[in-house]
C-alpha cells in the first residue's frame, strides 16, 4: 500500500513546508529570531504581498527580481585606491562568504542563488581610512550582486557605497567587523527615476568592536534596503542611521533589525525621512531583539517622518522584544507629522520668509544623520541633493 504524500503549503513568511500533521510547524513565528532562513530561493514560496515582510511593498513591480532569471555576473564597480584597503573578486565558494547573515525572504535568497562572484573589500589599516565603492555603470538588466566588506581586528575604516544611474538590482551585502575594529559603512542611493534596488545588508560585530551603518536614500523608483546588525560578541556596539527623501510616486523602504546576542552590547537606531508629492511612500520597520543571554544591554530606536505635502504615506513600525530583565535600558519611538508651526513662526519673527524657514527646518531635520558620515565631500554632495529636492518642493 502506497502512503499518500501531503500537499505542499505555504508557511509563515513564505517558506515552504509540508502538511504532515506536525502542528509545531504551524505555530506562527513569535520572534524575529525564529524566522526561517535560507540561501536557496527554492525554499521560499512566490511572494503575494500578504507576507509580513512584504505587506507594505509594491511587489507587483518587482516580479523580475523576485521570480525572473537574474544576471549573476560581476556588477560593474570601481574602488578608490587607498593604502590599507584591498578589493578583489572571489568565487561564491570562498570561505569569506556567508559569515554575516542569511536571507529571511525570497528577494535576498534569489540574489544569493544567482550571483557568480562576490566583491570583497577588506580594511586592514589601524589608522582611519576612507574607501569609495562606485556603481554607476549598471543598466536595466535584472541583476544579482554580492558584496563582502570586512574590517580586520583593530582596524578603522569608512566604506562608502555610491549608487547612481540606472539599475534593476537585487543584492546582499555582508559586513564583518573584527574584534576591536571600528567600521562605518554608508550606502547612498541616488539612482535615476526608474531604478529598482532591493538590498539586504548583514553585519556581524566582534568583541569590543563597533559598526556604524548609514543609509541615505534619495533616488530610485523603488528602493528597499534592509540592514540586520548582529551584536553577537561581548561589548559589541551597533548604530544604524538613515535619512531619506521621497518624491511623488517614489517608494523608499527600510526594515532595520538590531540583534543583541551577547552581554554588554549597545545599539542606537535613528532614521529620519521627508515626503513630498502625490503617492510618495516610505516604510520604516525597526526590530530590536534582546536575547536571554544579552545581559547589560543598552538599546534605543527611533523613527521620525516629516510630511511636506498632501497625498503622501509614511508607515512607521517600531518593535522591541526583550527576553531578559537584566538590561541597562531599552526603548523605542516613532512620530510622523507636518511642520511645527511654532518653529516656523519663530524663524519668521527673525525676518526669515516662510518658505526659507520651511527649508531650514527640513535641512536641520535630515542633516543630523548626513553629518555622521564623516566624509566632507560626500556630505556636501548630499546637502546639495537635499537642497535640490527642497527647491522642487518650492516650485
Predicted confidence (pLDDT) per residue in 187-239, tens digit: 999 999 999 999 999 999 999 999 999 999 999 999 999 999 999 999 999 99
How far is Cα 288 from Cα 378, in angstroms, rounded to an integer? 29
β-pairing, 222-231 vs 8-10, is unpaired
pLDDT of residue 345: 64
pLDDT of residue 9: 41
How far is Cα 213 from Cα 191, in angstroms, rounded to an integer? 19
Q: What are phi and psi of 345, to 5 degrees?
A: -60, -40
pLDDT of residue 389: 81
Nearest to 174 by CA among 95, 246, 242, 241: 95
264 Cβ partners below 8 Å, 6+ apart? 234, 235, 295, 296, 297
Cα dihedral 89→94→99→104 (10° resolution):
80
How far is Cα 65 from Cα 53, in angstroms, rounded to an integer? 16
* Helix (H), strand (E) counts: the chain: 5, 20
How confident is the prediction for the chain on average, in pLDDT?
Answer: 90
Specify whether the CB–CB gap between 289 and 318 falls below 8 A.
Answer: no
pLDDT of residue 344: 66
Q: By three-state DSSP, how is residue 130 classified? A: strand
Interhelix angle 376-394/354-370, nearest 10 degrees: 150
pLDDT of residue 288: 97
The rounded average pLDDT for each run of 10 residues, N- to C-terminus, in the chain (395 residues) is 39 45 56 88 95 95 97 96 97 97 97 98 98 97 98 98 98 98 98 97 98 97 98 98 96 98 98 95 97 97 94 96 94 86 66 73 88 95 88 64
pLDDT of residue 16: 47
How far is Cα 227 from Cα 232, in angstroms, rounded to an integer? 15
pLDDT of residue 338: 81
pLDDT of residue 2: 37
What are the strands of the beta sheet with 182-191, ordered from one edge? 78-79, 129-135, 156-165, 182-191, 210-217, 237-246, 266-275, 298-307, 329-337
pLDDT of residue 349: 75
CA-to-CA separations, 350 to 339, 344, 364, 376, in angstroms, rounded:
18, 10, 17, 30
Would you state the cell numbers that stand for residue 247, as one nine-digit string?
518624491
Amino acid at each position: 500500500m502506497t502512503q499518500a504524500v501531503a500537499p505542499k503549503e505555504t508557511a509563515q513568511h513564505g517558506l515552504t513546508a509540508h502538511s504532515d500533521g506536525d502542528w509545531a510547524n504551524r505555530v506562527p513565528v513569535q520572534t524575529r529570531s525564529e524566522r526561517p532562513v535560507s540561501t536557496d530561493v527554492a525554499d521560499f514560496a512566490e511572494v503575494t504581498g500578504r507576507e509580513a515582510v512584504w505587506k507594505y511593498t509594491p511587489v507587483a513591480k518587482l516580479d523580475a527580481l523576485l521570480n525572473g532569471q537574474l544576471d549573476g555576473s560581476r556588477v560593474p564597480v570601481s574602488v578608490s585606491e587607498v593604502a590599507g584597503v584591498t578589493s578583489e573578486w572571489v568565487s561564491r565558494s570562498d570561505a569569506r562568504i556567508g559569515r554575516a547573515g542569511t536571507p529571511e525572504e525570497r528577494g535576498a535568497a534569489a540574489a544569493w542563488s544567482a550571483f557568480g562572484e562576490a566583491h570583497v573589500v577588506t580594511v586592514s589599516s589601524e589608522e582611519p581610512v576612507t574607501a569609495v565603492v562606485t556603481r554607476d555603470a549598471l543598466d536595466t538588466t535584472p541583476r544579482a550582486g554580492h558584496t563582502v566588506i570586512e574590517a580586520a581586528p583593530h582596524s578603522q575604516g569608512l566604506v562608502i557605497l555610491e549608487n547612481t544611474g540606472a539599475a534593476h538590482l537585487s543584492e546582499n551585502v555582508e559586513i564583518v567587523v573584527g574584534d576591536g575594529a571600528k567600521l562605518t559603512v554608508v550606502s547612498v542611493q541616488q539612482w535615476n527615476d526608474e531604478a529598482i534596488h532591493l538590498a539586504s545588508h548583514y553585519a556581524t560585530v566582534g568583541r569590543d568592536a563597533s559598526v556604524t551603518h548609514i543609509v541615505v536614500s534619495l533616488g530610485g523608483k523603488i528602493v528597499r534596503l534592509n540592514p540586520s546588525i548582529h551584536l553577537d560578541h561581548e561589548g559589541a556596539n551597533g548604530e544604524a542611521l538613515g535619512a531619506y527623501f521621497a518624491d511623488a510616486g517614489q517608494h523608499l523602504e527600510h526594515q532595520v533589525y538590531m540583534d543583541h546576542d551577547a552581554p554588554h552590547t549597545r545599539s542606537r537606531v535613528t532614521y529620519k525621512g521627508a515626503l513630498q508629492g502625490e503617492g510618495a511612500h516610505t516604510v520604516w520597520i525597526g526590530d530590536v531583539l534582546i536575547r536571554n543571554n544579552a545581559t547589560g544591554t543598552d538599546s534605543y530606536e527611533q523613527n521620525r517622518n516629516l510630511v511636506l505635502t498632501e497625498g503622501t504615506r509614511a508607515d512607521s513600525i517600531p518593535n522591541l522584544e526583550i527576553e531578559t530583565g537584566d538590561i541597562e535600558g531599552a526603548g523605542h519611538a516613532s512620530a510622523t507629522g507636518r511642520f511645527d508651526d511654532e518653529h516656523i513662526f519663530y524663524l519668521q519673527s527673525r525676518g526669515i520668509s516662510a518658505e526659507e524657514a520651511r527649508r531650514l527646518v527640513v535641512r536641520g531635520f535630515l542633516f543630523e544623520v548626513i553629518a555622521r558620515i564623516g566624509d566632507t565631500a560626500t556630505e556636501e554632495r548630499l546637502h546639495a541633493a537635499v537642497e535640490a529636492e527642497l527647491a522642487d518642493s518650492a516650485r
